[in-house]
């Protein structure tokens, strides 16, 4: 099939590359010319396991190409995926300006029967909106072209995005059109060959399913963080509680890790957008409001523990920070809890030396220049360099190389052997025996302090 994917971020680039991998001809469109240049050379602008190799293979075999011109892409394409960002507007609603801009452009340039697929996460009713924008543009041109707007929300996880796309748990397609249903089924059945996992439903149902999935996962995280806060106050180890409840198959182990809050480009904005959507129809989404509130508070939890341990004035102190990305496996720093910690430490007079296996370039780009130029924030070349002469080490992202480090080597390098474990990766008793002060989440006030 001839496919155009508009927007080449985490979703669009993975979508386009994986469709090409299955033998389709794909042209990816992005308005960012510098990004398009890099992708043409086979460079991935984002870090995702296996993505760059797959891109290079498909470019070499002429199935994958890149352009800044949707008009050029429209000449040969029958299916258009919209995969542009839907960041929050100031009122918390999903800002649809990019989706609407693409819809307008599509109305101006499609020249034959087309299926338009909305892969961006969009509020219920956006399918109708996109349809009417395209129709209005076609009317202006006096063009009578048949088209369908389909909802096909994306469920890939950053960090394992290629694997998720190639072997999806399910593919949701929202449409009432038999034509669109057949085309989408044919397109996706190569990914769900073993057992058919394409679920068809109404367009509005599909739009809501995406928000409900993310809100459910965010709720699990905030719920567990709430329990962790209670555990701290009741002298209970939340890790024991986690094992105790995760073993119940009705609950399961996924998304019940206590920590320093969820980040990334999806959960925070999607919970906000759902609360806003509820407000627009006169409904108070009380549970979701609390999920967001707990998460905002949880992002401060390690900062509070640092204050409890060291006091309010951190001037002259130096902290090591392991992990900048919002989760392991990605270089994405959008809404990362590490940013909240960095801001707190630097505002309270400390300096920080940070290390992340993949997000160093993103951090250099996104974190304030002033921090970097003034020496308030340094970047280490190796994880152990971030322990050198520090008063404490903070673990913010649970990358695998941080899970089982050489504690003796760390201790020798550190000025004070203090570990703030924002992801409960370490055994408090082991660290205490080794002479560290250990402060985790949802565990006794502090071990060895
Ligand atoms: N990141 C995820 O893990 C994830 C997972 C599932 C769903 N989603 C949803 O998918 C959508 C895209 O997310 P993302 O993280 O890939 O976004 P992103 O911000 O990484 O990428 C969006 C891309 O779209 C491009 N763009 C914007 N307007 C354009 C236009 N008019 N024409 C061409 N290109 C344009 C931008 O230049 C950018 O490269 C969002 O709605 C998001 O909620 C994201």
Q: What is the predicted pLDDT for the residue at 345?
A: 98
- Asked about 266 being catalytic, the answer comes back as yes
Q: What is the predicted pLDDT for the residue at 255?
A: 97
Q: Does residue 440's CB lie within 6 angstroms of at least one atom of ligand 1? A: no
> Which residues have a Cβ under 8 Å from the Cβ of 80 and sit 6 or more positions away?
3, 4, 5, 6, 73, 74, 106, 110, 114, 115, 116, 117
Tell the burial category of 186 from Cβ atoms under 10 Å away from its Cβ (0-12, 13-18, 19+): exposed
Q: What is the predicted pLDDT for the residue at 446?
A: 54
Pocket test for ligand 1, best of 5, 12, 74, 109 (most atoms within 8 A of CB): 12
pLDDT tens track for 144-199: 999 999 999 999 999 999 999 999 999 999 999 999 999 999 999 999 888 889 99
What mean pLDDT do residues 280-308 have? 97
pLDDT tens track for 67-111: 999 999 999 999 999 999 999 999 999 999 999 999 999 999 999
Q: Does residue 328's CB lie within 6 angstroms of at least one atom of ligand 1? A: no
CA 84 – ligand 1 centroid, Å: 3
Question: Which atom of ligand 1 is closest in space to residue 265's alpha carbon?
Answer: 1
Q: Does residue 241's CB lie within 6 angstroms of at least one atom of ligand 1? A: no
Let me know: does 197 contact 409? Beta carbons within 8 Å. Answer: no
447: pLDDT strictly greater than 70: no
CA 10 – ligand 1 centroid, Å: 7
Total residue length of the chain:
449
Which one of the listed residues 18, 28, 231, 266 is annotated catalytic?
Answer: 266
Rounded to whole angstroms, the Cα distance separating 286 from 403 reads 37
Rounded to whole angstroms, the Cα distance separating 239 from 256 reads 10
What mean pLDDT do residues 338-364 have? 98
Q: Does residue 10's CB lie within 6 angstroms of at least one atom of ligand 1? A: yes
Q: Does residue 421's CB lie within 6 angstroms of at least one atom of ligand 1? A: no
Q: What is the predicted pLDDT for the residue at 304?
A: 96
Let me know: does 107 contact 32? Beta carbons within 8 Å. Answer: no
CA 7 – ligand 1 centroid, Å: 6
| This prediction's pTM | 0.95
Beta-bridge mates of residue 394:
321, 420
Q: Does residue 259's CB lie within 6 angstroms of at least one atom of ligand 1? A: no
């Amino acid at each position: 099939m001839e496919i155009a994917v508009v927007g080449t971020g985490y979703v669009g680039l993975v979508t386009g590359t994986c469709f090409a991998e299955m033998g389709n001809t794909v042209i990816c469109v992005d308005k960012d010319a510098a990004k398009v240049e890099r992708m043409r050379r086979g460079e991935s602008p984002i870090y995702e396991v296996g993505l760059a190799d797959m891109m290079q293979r498909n470019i070499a075999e002429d199935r994958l190409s890149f352009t800044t011109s949707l008009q050029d892409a429209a000449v040969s394409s029958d299916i258009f995926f919209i995969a542009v960002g839907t960041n929050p507007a100031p009122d918390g609603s999903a800002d649809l300006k990019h989706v609407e801009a693409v819809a307008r452009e599509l109305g101006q340039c499609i020249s034959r029967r087309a299926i338009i697929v909305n892969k961006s996460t969009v509020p219920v009713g956006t399918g109708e909106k996109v349809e009417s924008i395209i129709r209005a543009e076609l009317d202006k041109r006096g063009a009578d072209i048949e088209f369908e707007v389909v909802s096909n929300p994306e469920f890939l996880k950053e960090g394992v995005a290629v694997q998720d796309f190639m072997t999806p748990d399910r593919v949701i397609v929202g449409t009432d059109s038999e034509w669109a249903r057949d085309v989408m089924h044919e397109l996706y059945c190569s990914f769900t060959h073993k057992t058919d996992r394409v679920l068809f439903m109404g367009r509005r149902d599909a739009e809501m399913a995406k928000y409900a999935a993310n809100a459910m996962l965010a709720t699990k995280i905030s719920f567990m963080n709430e329990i962790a806060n209670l555990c701290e106050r009741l002298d209970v180890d939340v890790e024991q509680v986690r094992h105790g409840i995760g073993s119940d198959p009705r609950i399961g182990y996924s998304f019940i890790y206590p920590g320093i809050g969820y980040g990334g480009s999806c959960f925070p904005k999607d919970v906000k957008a759902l609360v806003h959507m509820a407000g627009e129809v006169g409904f108070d989404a009380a549970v979701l409001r609390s999920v967001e509130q707990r998460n905002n508070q949880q992002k401060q939890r390690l900062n509070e523990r640092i204050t409890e341990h060291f006091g309010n004035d951190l001037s002259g102190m130096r902290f090591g920070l392991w992990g900048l990305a919002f989760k392991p496996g990605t270089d994405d720093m959008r809404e990362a809890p590490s940013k909240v910690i960095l801001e707190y430490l630097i505002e309270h007079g400390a300096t920080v030396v940070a290390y992340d296996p993949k997000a160093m370039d993103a951090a250099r780009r996104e974190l304030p220049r002033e921090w970097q130029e003034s020496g308030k924030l340094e970047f280490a070349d190796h994880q152990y360099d971030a322990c050198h002469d520090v008063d404490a080490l903070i673990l913010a992202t649970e990358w695998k190389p941080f899970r089982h480090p050489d504690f003796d080597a760390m201790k020798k390098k550190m000025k004070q052997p203090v570990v703030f474990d924002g992801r409960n990766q370490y055994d408090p008793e082991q660290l205490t025996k080794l002479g560290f002060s250990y402060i985790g989440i949802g565990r006794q006030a502090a071990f060895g302090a």
